Amino acid sequence: MANAPHGGVLKDLVARDEHLRENLKAEAHTLPDIVLTERQLCDLELIMNGGFSPLEGFMNEADYKGVVDNLRLADGALFPIPITLDVSREDIDRLHLAAGSRIALRDPRDDQALAIITVEDIYRPDQVKEAIQVFGADDPAHPAVAYLRNKVKEYYVGGKVQAIQPPTHFDYVALRYTPAELRAHFKKLAWRRVVAFQTRNPMHRAHRELTVRAARQRQANVLIHPVVGLTKPGDVDHYTRVRVYEAIMAKYPNGMGHLALLPLAMRMAGPREAVWHAIIRKNFGATHFIVGRDHAGPGKNSQGKDFYGPYDAQDLVMKYHEELQIEMVPFQQMTYLPSTDEYQPVDEVPKGTQTLDISGTELRRRLKTGAPIPDWFSYDAVVKTLRESYPPRAKQGFVIFLTGLHGSGKDTIAKALQVTLNQQGGRSVSLLLGDNIRPDLDTPFSATPEEHSKNLQRLAFVAAELARAGAAVILAPNAYTQASRDAIKDTILHQAGPGGNFFGIHVATPLEHCEANDRKGVYARARAGEIRGVPGVDATFEPVERPQLTVDTTKQNIPEIVHSIVLLLETDSLL
């Protein structure tokens, strides 16, 4: 028998509102709307299918404050993570948001109306307090804090939703189960005890052994329940991971395990996240939940220390054990014993016994370099899948980002580097100069600051897509602020997949030299007031932070500079 949902009732809003679907769909056409972000979309899907039971919408201020301060909703129910719908002041004014407003919530991918929210309240949260209370520190090294600072808008809208339809998925549809569907599946198979395993990483032999061991100890079946929503930036993409999960399921005894995908946007909140994960798996019908070492931890903080202790997550889940009503299965790290060809928890290995391990960092190094991965660590089918998605360094794309003043020589360096890389061969080489994808269509410095920012975003997107496909990209836009440079780098690192190899190069040619050799007369026109926004005249070129290479055309010739860039790529095994 499947576990009871959190709060006693599965809040399946899609089933609840099915009889109203056509009326709600028609009403949505008449309403102002909010196009959801990717994280809001993940949250809404789990609100509507009951994965976040007992929630029936985005948290109002009372629920939000209770969760941030005490891990509890206003009615006292345990819930550790704030689920919020963030909007800007402009959104509030544009949509005329107020208590009682009805707003359609739309899928950002196809613009379909998914639900209607009835606004209960609009409030301005203390986001610094949220970071400290929920994530443990207001430290941008934490991915959720960085998201809170850079992506989340300043106001939250609270209110219950009525479901029109769930989001449409085109990938791995057969592996996507709602809580009601997964519960029905367990019932059909007569699974009375189900151990759920949470993961956002590829699985290897150690994970298989850990889950089988948990099932054996609890006389249960195994639910492999990986996250395929938003995970930590830099994680292996979910398409690759699902192919890995499908390959590893064949290694379980027939009938022992089942694979289902979870469209969750993780927060990497460590102990609180572990409690949240337990609640979600309880809603999906699991009776047991594996909590490992440093569960949902984001890694190191700005001081180089772990954000959370290795067993803080297990301790917090145990603290709320009676309320959660899902049995935690605690596990330490598994290690390989070559003498017996088996995996054991590290705390059960006799002192002096030889053990072998491969860290995540070492695994990534072997994948990038093509070094062998032993069969004691993983399975051939898993390694083959990972190698297909993560080619060796010499086949990966990269982005060379040149920044400097107008006339610094960055365009000349970029063109010379393009010739050199074309001569090298092995990759296509793309050159993106100036502010625009087609710089010949626009006059330099003619764009407004808003247009300039959008142009840089477009360039970064194009560069990321090219690098993802294995190209060498030379990017030399007019990016004069550190914020714009950071935004370009962030796009490359997070969207280019295995091509997310980024090299920032500051062409630090002095202003006097740039102006003296300005054949196009840009500086003269700026000083005459004919054009505006020219760094060095009426705009500031902000200092370049942490470039991988700094060059100066008054001290080095172009071949020397190009050679130094080639050496940088060679040092990183990309050439």
The pLDDT of residue 14 is above 50: yes
Average pLDDT over every residue of 38-55 = 98
What average pLDDT does the chain have?
Answer: 92
Calculate mean pLDDT across residues 172-178. 97
Distance CA 85, CA 64 (A): 11
Which pair of tokens denotes residue 284? Answer: 């999906």
What are the pLDDT digits (tens) for 438-495? Answer: 554 445 555 677 777 888 889 999 999 999 999 999 999 888 889 899 999 989 988 8
Q: Of 561 and 519, which is predicted with more confidence?
A: 561
CB 533 within 8 A of CB 406: no
Using only C-alpha atoms, the chain has a radius of gyration, in whole angstroms, of 27
| Nearest alpha carbon to residue 166 among 181, 155, 185, 151 | 181
For every residue of 481-494, which 3-state class applies, written as one string? CHHHHHHHHHHHHH
pLDDT at 389: 82
Give the mean pLDDT of 31-48. 97
Global pTM value: 0.83
At position 240, the amino acid (one-letter code) is T
Most confident of 203-212, 426-435, 442-451: 203-212
| Continuous segment of H or E residues that includes residue 340 | none
Beta-bridged to residue 43, according to DSSP, are none
The pLDDT value given to residue 440:
45
Beta-bridge mates of residue 503? 400
- Is residue 257 within a helix (H) or strand (E), and if so which, with residue range? strand 257-259
**Given this model, what pLDDT does residue 534 score?**
87
DSSP string, 437-493: SSGGGS-TT-S-HHHHHHHHHHHHHHHHHHHHTT-EEEEE----SHHHHHHHHHHHH
Region of poorest pLDDT, from 86-100, 193-207, 444-458: 444-458
The pLDDT tens digits for 404-420 are 999 999 999 999 999 99
Cβ–Cβ under 8 Å, residues 97 and 119: yes
| Rounded CA separation 426/418 (Å) | 13
Q: Residue 442: what pLDDT? A: 44
Report the candidate in 14, 5, 6, 85 with the shortest Cα–Cα distance to residue 43.
Answer: 85
Asked whether the beta carbons of 268 and 274 are under 8 A apart, the reply is no
For 38: left if phi > 0, alpha if psi spans -120 to 50, otherwise beta; the answer is alpha
DSSP element (H, E) containing 57: strand 57-58
Place of tokens 């208590």: 99
Identify the three-state secondary structure at position 345. strand
pLDDT, position 1: 62
DSSP annotation string for 176-193: B--HHHHHHHHHHHT---
Mean pLDDT of 370-399: 89
Chain segment 219-246, per-residue pLDDT in tens: 999 999 999 998 877 778 899 999 999 9
Question: Which structure tokens are listed for 473?
Answer: 């990209």
Residue 143 scores a pLDDT above 70:
yes
Phi, psi dihedrals of residue 145, rounded to the nearest 5°: -70, -40
Active site residues: 199-201
Q: Taking residues 17-35, what's their average pLDDT?
A: 97
Query: pLDDT (tens digit, 9 = 90+) per residue, 99-112?
Result: 999 999 999 999 99
Share above pLDDT 90 across residues of the chain, in percent, rounded to a whole number:
78
Q: Which residues contact 473 (CB under 8 A, 6 or more apart)?
A: 397, 398, 399, 400, 429, 430, 432, 463, 466, 467
- pLDDT tens string 272-325: 999 999 999 999 999 999 998 889 999 899 999 999 999 999 999 999 999 999
The neighbour count for residue 154, using CB atoms within 10 Å, is 13
With contact defined as beta carbons under 8 Å apart, do 282 and 245 qualify?
no
What's the rounded Cα separation, in Å, for the pair 259 and 242?
9
Amino acid at 210: L
Per-residue confidence (pLDDT) for residue 233, from 0 to 100: 72
Residue of 481, 530, 536 whose CA lies nearest to 513: 536
pLDDT band at 437 (very low <50, low <70, confident <90, very high): low
| Cis status, amide bond into 54, omega within 30 of 0 | yes
Do residues 368 and 396 touch, judged by C-beta distance below 8 A? yes
pLDDT, mean of residues 116-124 = 98
Q: In this structure, are residues 229 and 280 in contact, taking their beta carbons and an 8 Å threshold?
A: no
- Residue 360 has what pLDDT? 76
Model pLDDT, residue 519: 87
Length of the chain: 575
